[in-house]
Copies of this chain bind each other. A is one copy, B any other.
Amino acid sequence: MLRVPYEELYGALLRAMEALGLKDERAQLCARLFAETTRDGVYTHGLNRFPRFVETVKNGSVLVDAEPVKTAGMGAIERWDGCSGVGNLNAWASMERAMELARLHGMGGVALANTNHWMRGGSYGWQAAEQGMFAICWTNTLANLPAWGATSPSLGNNPLVFAVPRVNGHVVLDMAMSQFSYGSLEGYSKRGQPLPVDGGFDAAGNLTKDAAAIEASKRALPIGYWKGSGLSLVLDMMAAMLAGGKATYQIPREPVRETGSSQIFLAIDPGSMGNANAMNRIADGIIDFLHQATPVDPNQPVRYPGEQTARLRDENMRLGVPVDPEIWKRISAQS
């Protein structure tokens, strides 16, 4: 495994962003979000995603200079137009705005239309938690998931993020509505490994752990069968309706042309709600109880969402961030 120091990864990404036409703070933030995603161990949405990001800039899906514009709203909630800008920058700006509104009103929300892939959704959960805020955010995506009871894809996998601030380690959940992403299925099928649980249907319509069979049928499974199917639908509806933007079925199906998605960012400022120490004690009580659960495997204690992220982050800062040698060669050669 090739590991590179975080600062070196960030530096190479920054130069690559500048080469793409991003300027100053925008290039810095975009590079930082890609670098941090890789540092945190979400390899599918960091450096490894960068070549596809470049393609979306070059084919005109992503406009590097576009910035979001407020189009409607009142009080605690606003509607913004992402103007086809850079997805992670638009999402970051929207969560910042939701938090600004939360500082004023106790709670704040931004519905963002016409934006691009936000890369790792968890980034905006960490962003909020690091400022002591609770947050909920989600995005719609292109149609890549059949509804429960259907064979054709009418739903997106619509990642949903919850963030809970906590002194001894923020709790950040970042989950898509499909049991496995196509990226993850590809990994299992390349390694010839079975999925740990059923991940979709084979061509005959049977549930299967065979990743290649699911890649072929395009029938990935929503989490909880009918439940995740329903949840994906309502997330799409709320995002598209409140943002006045595109719904999943209107988003181009080809991944490098996926553009125009709708997103929701909600933030709650606990400062308006009572004693911060008392709230933190409640959080610690819950996490302690979780950690005391009897594990199935005595060597695998139960973890909370974000616990593994924090561990990997520390490890990768210490040992260097693992990178794909091929992609790393191309990006670091550019600079």
* Residues of chain A whose beta carbon lies under 8 Å from any beta carbon of chain B: 71-79, 104-109, 111, 134, 136, 146-152, 154-155, 162, 164, 171, 173, 175, 179, 197-198, 205, 207, 223-225, 227-228, 230-231, 233-238, 240-242, 244, 247-250, 266, 268, 270, 272-275, 278-279, 282-283, 285-286, 289-290, 292-297, 300, 302-305
Q: Which residues of B are found within 8 Å of A290, using beta-carbon distances?
A: 147, 154-155, 233
Contact check, A150 vs B75: say whether CB atoms are below 8 A apart. Answer: no
Choose from B164, B175, B272 the contact partner of A74 (Cβ within 8 Å). Answer: B272
Residues of B within 8 A of A289 (CB): 154, 247, 249
Contact B228 A134 (CB under 8 A): no
Q: Are A304 and B242 in contact (CB under 8 A)?
A: no
The answer to whether B242 and A270 have CB atoms under 8 Å apart is yes
Once the chains are docked, how many angstroms separate the CA of A306 from the CA of B19? 50
Q: Could you tell me the distance between the alpha carbons of A151 and B106 in the complex, rounded to whole angstroms?
A: 39
Most buried by B among A207, A223, A241, A294: A241
Bound CA–CA A320/B228 (angstroms): 32
Query: Within 8 Å CB of A173, what residues of B?
Result: 230-231, 233-234
Given contacts A290-B233, A296-B149, A77 and B272 within 8 Å (CB-CB): yes
Chain B residue at minimum C-beta to C-beta distance from A262: B282
Q: How far is the CA of A285 from the CA of B240 in the complex (A)?
A: 11
Q: A236 — which chain B residues lie within 8 A by C-beta?
A: 286
A234-B305, A286-B233 given as contacts; is B247 within 8 A of A293 (CB)? no
Given A77-B273, A247-B282, the answer on whether A230 and B305 have CB atoms closer than 8 Å is yes
Q: Of all chain B residues, which has the CB nearest A269?
A: B77
Contact B106 A237 (CB under 8 A): no
Cβ A233 vs Cβ B305 within 8 A = yes
